Amino acid sequence: MHYKFRSNAKINLFLKILYKRNDGYHQIESFFLPISIADTIYIEIEQGTARNIEDIKFESINYIPLENRHLFEEVSERGNIKNNLVYKLFEKLFQLNIKLPVLKIKILKRIPPGSGVGGGSSNVATILRFLIQQNRLSFNDALKIAESIGSDIPFFIYNVPCFVTGRGEIVKPIDKKNLYNLENIYGIINFNQKSVSTKEAYKELKKPLQEEYLKIYGHNTNSGKAFFDKSFLEMGFDDFLHRCENDFERITLEKEPELLKIKDLMLKTEPIKVLMTGSGSAIFSLYNTKEKMLEALKHLKKIDNKQSIFKPFKIYTGQSPSGKASDFGSDMRRFESSLPSQ
């Protein structure tokens, strides 16, 4: 049996870092959105039961269009695959004695690493969703495994717009009736040569320890949720976008003036929002019509090179503009086929 899956990237429409927790992680609050830019994963089920990780065959093709494509090579089967998150997933599955068939996994890698869009986490979650579909794992067990491997992975198992808190593992999907016009929003994302270490970005933030934070603010630590509920759910999308900030953006752009120049270039295209996603280095802009996005893309494409590229996207809400979930896949394919050649 052969299966083909999209492994979506994500953007953060806002990202608040509250404090450093007692367990060493940081408490965050954010709004995560999957986007149409994706890796492709092929999975082939062969006869027999996998005895160990040697029965899971890995293959990848590196389509990353930037010079930092070597970062993926270093953790692919051509480098040290033991550092690859997908490999770590299967190590964990065998440690837990999960019964698996013999598998061939092929990844067509397009999402640049170190961009803050969760490419590796998405790959892991895509395979976990496959195992759920195959009745090899329950949804809750998949979430626990995901949480043990990486903070962003639980979100990608849901793979719909979500409010995210904790260290990233507490995920609440947003009710479809509250998604406004997101499926009709068009975006452009800049991928560039800068690779930002999330660990180092957290250090630069210098957030207070949990005890200090609670002394100042008490136990009312849901400021991000209150902001989300008020601005997005009650006041509407335009007001929400106006108020959105990413706590990582200032320190990252100060350290990387080239990224600030990219943001300024994107602002000149008159989008409804420009923001860095995650800890960087990717920066995205949003437009309320496809025509405005394409006009902006035409302008930005003039400065494409091997160190900085601009890619169009749509937000993945799980439903098409018709409101029907069953139409969403064909809507994505129509969008991608209508784009100018990349």
pLDDT by residue, tens only, the chain of 342 residues? 899 999 999 999 999 999 999 999 999 999 999 999 999 999 999 999 999 999 999 999 999 999 889 999 999 999 999 999 999 999 999 999 999 999 999 999 999 998 999 999 999 999 999 999 999 999 999 999 999 999 999 999 999 999 999 999 999 998 877 777 788 899 999 999 887 778 888 888 888 899 888 887 766 555 556 667 666 767 777 778 888 999 999 999 988 899 999 999 999 999 999 999 998 899 999 999 999 999 999 999 988 888 899 999 999 887 544 444 444 556 666 666 777 665
* CB 319, CB 183: distance < 8 Å: yes
Q: Contact at 8 Å (CB) between 196 and 258?
A: no
Catalytic positions are: 10, 152
The CA distance from 82 to 87, in Å, is 6
Count how many Cα atoms sit within 13 Å of the Cα of residue 334 in the half-sphere of its side chain.
8
- The hierarchical CATH code for the domain 2-173 is 3.30.230.10
Distance CA 53, CA 44 (A): 15
**pLDDT score, position 222:** 56
**Fold that domain 177-338 belongs to in CATH:** Alpha-Beta Plaits (3.30.70)
Contact 250, 17 (CB under 8 A): no
Extents of the domains making up the chain: 2-173, 177-338
Token pair recorded at residue 184: 């009709």
Q: Tell me the C-alpha distance between 298 and 22, whole Å.
A: 48
Identify whether the C-beta of residue 119 lies closer than 8 Å to the C-beta of residue 34: no
